[in-house]
Structure 1
Amino acid sequence: MTAALLSVLTALLCVLSATAQPEPQKDFNLQKFSGKWYLIGMGSNAQWFMNKKSWMKMGTAVYTPTAEGNLDVLVTSQKPTECWKMHQLFDKTETPGRFTFYSQVWGNKNDVRVVETNYDEFALVHTIKTKGDSVSVLTKLYGRSQELRPELIQKFQQHSLAHGIALDNVLILPKNVECTPNAA
């Protein structure tokens, strides 16, 4: 009886840790976070991600603070025949390092948290996406360069797994030809 109870409690603890929402980095500095980042890794438990993960490649994101403390975000990625770009405004919240936005394209609410960054090397970003009753998680690993230390990649993978993303849905993206917003 005790072993069965222990198994149930262990399973419950695993579920709770996978659904716990990470907090943004303490003392987050918006100005230091701004600038260009390479998207090194992505992970998600969303169906759209599972359908598209086979052709995903490295892209860039440029984060530009606004006067109001929001983040203007430009994401680009070179596709076979064009430079794809997406522009979004992340609205600040009362918590530094946490932003929200609504995607008109995908019809979902996004709660974005910069979980950890050292500003000049890497950033770990955790997004909770809500569309109707469906909630999914998207994790991203950014680097100021296209290469990151193995321990940072491992940190990203561990974070993703701890938040309910299966290992085969945690990707380190292949390098890609960089496109610039001017060419987009």
Structure 2
Amino acid sequence: AMAKPLLFLGLILMGVLKIQAQDSFPTVFPVSSLGKFPRHPDFQSDQFQGKWYTIAWAQNFEYVEKSRKIILLSTIYKLNHDHSYSVTTEWLSKPQCDYKTITIFPINHSGLFNMTTLPAYAGLYNFTLKVLETDYNEYAFVIRRVDILNSIYFQHILYGRIKELSPELKQHYRIVTRSLGLTDDDIIFADPSGKQHPE
């Protein structure tokens, strides 16, 4: 019975990793306050839309088994008439490309979104996406968070409009990741040549 909730957790958090469902919930590392970050002032939804590449990610949970066959990830944010986003993530893996689309809705004008069409697993889920920081044209820091059974599962994602970002931006991402209670060892950078590696 746990397989479906875990698969769902993997699908909506990921945009980063293809996670295989397990028989028990994943280990959750200690979480610092995600609420200490100010909401993005005057978030420009139209400027944020478009294609982003996942340059790096760090998360406070782990699975015994992970797929390491992903070559590259791209995520497209398409702005809808009701100000929601259709978010499509592609896993550019061989021999075929896989993708997943979800819809997220703005909570306000500060870069905070939630997903209101969650499957009804006894009301255990709450999914939010928060844009911590972005210049719209080059990079973005995004938190994807799911609350399940009084536990918080989150990923801190570094997006880039291109497949490679400057060392300075990567270092800034490391500093913000540490402030979330994670370490440099929790960070995985996607190699633009098609590989994954800790950095």
Do Structure 1 and Structure 2 share a fold, with TM-score over 0.5? yes
Corresponding residue for 2:161? 144
User: How far apart are residue 165 of structure 1 and its match?
Assistant: 1.7
> Are 1:94 and 2:94 counterparts?
no
Residue 41 of structure 1: which of 33, 43, 56 is its match? 56
Q: Distance in 2 between matches of 1:149 and 1:54?
A: 25
CA contact (8 A) 2:72 2:190 kept: yes
Q: Distance in 2 between matches of 1:39 and 1:155?
A: 16
The two structures have a TM-score, normalised by structure 1, of: 0.77
Aligned residue identity for 2:105:
D
Deviations 1:100-145 (A, max 9, x none): 12655x9842211111111110011012221122212210000110
CA contact (8 A) 2:88 2:101 kept: yes
Alignment of 1:152-163 (within 5 A): 152-163=169-180
Corresponding residue for 2:144? 127
Corresponding residue for 1:117? 134
User: How far apart are residue 53 of structure 1 and its match?
Assistant: 7.1
The structure having more radius of gyration, on CA atoms, is: 1
Q: Distance in 2 between matches of 1:41 and 1:135?
A: 20
User: How far apart are residue 78 of structure 1 and its match?
Assistant: 1.5
> Gapped runs of 5+ residues in structure 1?
1-14, 178-184
Corresponding residue for 1:73? 87
Corresponding residue for 2:190? 173
The two structures have a TM-score, normalised by structure 2, of: 0.72
> What's the secondary structure of 1:52's corresponding residue?
coil
Deviations 1:31-82 (A, max 9, x none): 000101111011101123x742755543100001111111110000112322
CA contact (8 A) 1:45 1:166 kept: no
* Aligned positions, number: 160
The structure where helix makes up a greater share of residues is 1
Q: Distance in 1 between matches of 2:70 and 2:126?
A: 22
Paired-residue identity, %: 22
CA contact (8 A) 1:116 1:123 kept: yes
Q: Considering only aligned residues, what root-mean-square deviation do their CA atoms show, in Å?
A: 2.4
User: How far apart are residue 157 of structure 1 and its match?
Assistant: 1.3
**Bigger CA drift: 154-163 or 30-39?**
154-163
User: How far apart are residue 175 of structure 1 and its match?
Assistant: 2.7
Q: Distance in 1 between matches of 2:158 and 2:65?
A: 20
CA contact (8 A) 1:72 1:89 kept: yes
Query: Closer, same or farther in 2 for the Cα pair 1:53/1:81, shift >3 Å?
Result: closer
> What's the secondary structure of 1:165's corresponding residue?
coil
> What's the secondary structure of 2:105's corresponding residue?
strand
Q: Distance in 1 between matches of 2:72 and 2:128?
A: 22
User: How far apart are residue 174 of structure 1 and its match?
Assistant: 2.2
By relative contact order (CA 8 Å, sep 6+), the higher-ranking structure is 1
